[in-house]
A and B are shown apart, each in its own frame.
Chain A
Amino acid sequence: MATILAVDDSASMRQMVSFTLKGAGFTVVEAGDGQQALDAAKRTKVDLVLTDVNMPVMDGITLIKELRALPTYKFTPMLMLTTESAAHKKAEGKAAGATGWIVKPFNPDQLVATIKKVLG
Chain B
Amino acid sequence: MTTDMTQFLQTFYEESFEGLEIMESGLLNLDVGAADSELVNDIFRAAHSIKGGSATFGLGEVAAFTHLMETLLDELRDGRRDVSQEIVELLLSAVDCLREMLTASRAEEPLEMERIDELKASLQRTLDAGAAPKSEATTGSSGGQSTSSGWRILFKPFPHLFKTGNDPVRIFRELGELGELTVEASTDGLPPFEQLDPEESYLAWTLTLRGSADRAAVEEVFAWVEDDCELEITPLEGEAVAGPQPIPAAESDSGISGELLLERRRSTDRRRGNDRRGTDRRGGADSGSIRVGIEKVDAVIDMVGELVITQSMLSTLGEDFEMEKLQKLRDGLAQLERNTRELQENVMRMRMLPISFVFSRFPRMVHDLSQQLGKEIELRMTGEGTELDKTVIEKITDPLVHLVRNSLDHGIEPTVEERVATGKPPVGVVRLNAYHKGGNIVIEVIDDGRGMDAERLFRKAVERGLVDAEAQLSPEQIFDLIFMPGFSTAEQVSDVSGRGVGMDVVRKNIQSLGGTVEIQSELGKGSTFSVRLPLTLAILDGQTVSVGDELYIVPLVSITESIQVKEGMINHVANKGQTFRWRGDYLPIIRLSQIFGAESKVASLTEGLIVVVEGDGRHVGLFVDDLLGQQQVVIKSMEANYRKIDGISGATILGDGSVALILDIPGLIRISNQQAELQPA
Interface, chain A (partner B; CB < 8 A): 9-13, 15-16, 19-20, 23-24, 54-56, 68, 74-78, 81, 83-85, 87, 90-91, 94, 97-112, 114, 117-118, 120
Q: A9-B49, A78-B165, A104-B52 are in contact. Are A110 and B12 (CB under 8 A)?
A: no
A87 and B42 alpha carbons, distance in the complex (Å): 20
Q: Give the interface segment out of B252-260, B353-361, B632-640.
A: B252-260
Asked whether any CB of chain A lies closer than 8 Å to the CB of B8, the reply is: yes
Task: Tell whether, in the assembled complex, residue B1 and residue A19 are in contact, meaning their CB atoms are under 8 Å apart.
Answer: no
Which one, A10, A56, A110, A118, contacts B262 given CB within 8 A? A110
Q: A83-B51, A94-B164, A105-B55 are in contact. Are A11 and B263 (CB under 8 A)?
A: no
Interface of A is mostly: mixed
Task: Tell whether, in the assembled complex, residue B224 and residue A117 are in contact, meaning their CB atoms are under 8 Å apart.
Answer: no
Task: Tell whether, in the assembled complex, residue A103 and residue B261 are in contact, meaning their CB atoms are under 8 Å apart.
Answer: yes
Give the Cβ gap from B533 to chain A, nearest Cβ, in Å.
31
Asked whether any CB of chain A lies closer than 8 Å to the CB of B437, the reply is: no
- Kindly list chain B residues whose C-beta atoms are within 8 Å of the C-beta of A20: 3
Q: Give the interface segment out of B166-174, B271-279, B512-520, B534-542.
A: B166-174
Which one, B44, B63, B261, contacts A54 given CB within 8 A? B44
Task: Tell whether, in the assembled complex, residue B169 and residue A120 are in contact, meaning their CB atoms are under 8 Å apart.
Answer: yes
A39 and B681 alpha carbons, distance in the complex (Å): 82
Which one, A19, A24, A74, A118, contacts B170 given CB within 8 A? A118
Query: How many B residues are at the interface, by size bracket?
Result: 35 or more
**What are 21 of the A-B contact pairs (CB < 8 Å)?**
A9-B45, A12-B53, A13-B49, A13-B56, A15-B11, A16-B56, A19-B7, A54-B48, A68-B163, A75-B162, A75-B163, A75-B165, A75-B199, A83-B51, A85-B67, A99-B165, A100-B224, A103-B258, A112-B1, A117-B170, A117-B173
A98 and B225 alpha carbons, distance in the complex (Å): 10
A75 and B55 alpha carbons, distance in the complex (Å): 32
Task: Tell whether, in the assembled complex, residue A13 and residue B45 are in contact, meaning their CB atoms are under 8 Å apart.
Answer: no
- What is the 8 Å Cβ interface bit string for chain B, positions 4-47, against chain A (1 contact, 0 not)? 01011101101100000000000000000000000001101100
Task: Tell whether, in the assembled complex, residue B261 and residue A106 are in contact, meaning their CB atoms are under 8 Å apart.
Answer: yes
Task: Tell whether, in the assembled complex, residue A19 and residue B163 are in contact, meaning their CB atoms are under 8 Å apart.
Answer: no
Which one, B9, B52, B136, B170, contacts A10 given CB within 8 A? B52
Closest B residue to A16 by beta carbon equals B8
A13 and B15 alpha carbons, distance in the complex (Å): 10
- Kindly list chain B residues whose C-beta atoms are within 8 Å of the C-beta of A91: 227, 252
A81 and B55 alpha carbons, distance in the complex (Å): 13
A84 and B223 alpha carbons, distance in the complex (Å): 14
Task: Tell whether, in the assembled complex, residue B53 and residue A10 are in contact, meaning their CB atoms are under 8 Å apart.
Answer: yes
Give the Cβ gap from B37 to chain A, nearest Cβ, in Å.
14
- Kindly list chain A residues whose C-beta atoms are within 8 Å of the C-beta of B70: 85
Asked whether any CB of chain A lies closer than 8 Å to the CB of B137, the reply is: yes
Which one, A23, A77, A120, contacts B173 given CB within 8 A? A120
Task: Tell whether, in the assembled complex, residue B170 and residue A120 are in contact, meaning their CB atoms are under 8 Å apart.
Answer: yes
Task: Tell whether, in the assembled complex, residue B136 and residue A12 are in contact, meaning their CB atoms are under 8 Å apart.
Answer: no
Given contacts A9-B45, A110-B262, list 20 more A-B pairs with CB under 8 A.
A10-B12, A10-B49, A12-B15, A12-B53, A13-B56, A19-B3, A20-B3, A23-B1, A24-B1, A54-B44, A74-B199, A75-B163, A87-B254, A94-B224, A94-B227, A100-B166, A101-B224, A103-B254, A103-B258, A104-B52
- Kindly list chain A residues whose C-beta atoms are within 8 Å of the C-beta of B42: 56
- Kindly list chain A residues whose C-beta atoms are within 8 Å of the C-beta of B174: 117
Asked whether any CB of chain A lies closer than 8 Å to the CB of B139, the reply is: yes
Task: Tell whether, in the assembled complex, residue A106 and residue B56 are in contact, meaning their CB atoms are under 8 Å apart.
Answer: yes
Asked whether any CB of chain A lies closer than 8 Å to the CB of B264, the reply is: yes
Task: Tell whether, in the assembled complex, residue A105 and residue B264 are in contact, meaning their CB atoms are under 8 Å apart.
Answer: yes
Task: Tell whether, in the assembled complex, residue A110 and residue B52 are in contact, meaning their CB atoms are under 8 Å apart.
Answer: no
A76 and B15 alpha carbons, distance in the complex (Å): 31
Which one, B45, B139, B223, contacts A56 given CB within 8 A? B45
Task: Tell whether, in the assembled complex, residue B170 and residue A85 are in contact, meaning their CB atoms are under 8 Å apart.
Answer: no
B235-251 contacts to A, CB under 8 A, are: none
Asked whether any CB of chain A lies closer than 8 Å to the CB of B71, the reply is: yes
Q: A54-B44, A74-B199 are in contact. Are A104 and B254 (CB under 8 A)?
A: no
A54 and B225 alpha carbons, distance in the complex (Å): 22
- Kindly list chain A residues whose C-beta atoms are within 8 Å of the C-beta of B258: 84, 103
Q: A83-B48, A85-B136, A91-B227 are in contact. Are A109 and B2 (CB under 8 A)?
A: yes
A29 and B530 alpha carbons, distance in the complex (Å): 48
Task: Tell whether, in the assembled complex, residue A84 and residue B139 are in contact, meaning their CB atoms are under 8 Å apart.
Answer: yes
Which one, A11, A83, A108, contacts B15 given CB within 8 A? A11
Give the Cβ gap from B619 to chain A, nearest Cβ, in Å.
52
Q: A74-B199, A87-B136, A105-B55 are in contact. Are A12 and B261 (CB under 8 A)?
A: no
- Kindly list chain A residues whose C-beta atoms are within 8 Å of the C-beta of B260: 102-103, 110, 114
Task: Tell whether, in the assembled complex, residue B164 and residue A97 are in contact, meaning their CB atoms are under 8 Å apart.
Answer: yes
Closest A residue to B44 by beta carbon equals A54
Asked whether any CB of chain A lies closer than 8 Å to the CB of B57, the reply is: yes
Top 7 closest pairs, chain A to chain B, by CB? A100-B224, A99-B165, A105-B55, A12-B12, A77-B165, A108-B3, A12-B11
- Kindly list chain A residues whose C-beta atoms are within 8 Å of the C-beta of B167: 120
